[in-house]
Amino acid sequence: FTQSATGARVEHAQARLLLGERPRAPEPLPLDEIRRELRRQYSKAENYALLGKAGFGYGETFQVTEDIYCNDHASLCRLHIKGDEHGFDFHPALVDGALRATFWVNQRLAQEDFRLSVPFSLGEIYFYDRLPDTCLAYACLREQVMDITKFDITLCDTQGRVVATLKDFCTR
């Protein structure tokens, strides 16, 4: 929330947190099969150059995307953070990188007129284990209705073991 000039509280987001037993993680992702389907590949340098052209200047801590594989329906991004000295179970930079993986679905660097979508809702988050310093974000397009695009994002370790899922991430 923020406070307006008159001192009124303005809410910008809300959530409901349900605590319970940790759910069982889904089956590991078949990473080799996924990579074969994702024929376009981009480097860290290409990623941050394109984001820079769009006006986003990520500091070193938030430059976690190392490489990207994508097609018109999904993307797989390798994320890495250099030593988590703060001891986060889910480092904010890795979560941010996972959400940005949706940008690469149906993206082509050759496009000069690209648009970044604005995230506006997330249906559910399931955490099965701590995010490792190097992990993969697999973003899949669920549906597109008018200007709203909905994704599911799966975070896994480098062997495909699922550590978190984000359902119904919506952008416009």
Number of other residues whose CB lies within 10 A of the CB of residue 104: 25
d(CA 133, CA 17): 25
* pLDDT digit string (tens) for the chain, length 172 residues: 778 888 888 887 777 777 777 778 899 999 999 999 999 999 999 989 888 887 888 888 889 999 999 999 999 999 999 876 667 888 899 999 999 999 888 775 445 556 677 788 999 999 999 999 999 999 999 998 888 899 999 999 999 999 999 999 998 8
d(CA 70, CA 22): 31
95 closest CA partner among 139, 149, 53, 147: 139
Q: What is the pTM of this model?
A: 0.86
d(CA 97, CA 140): 15
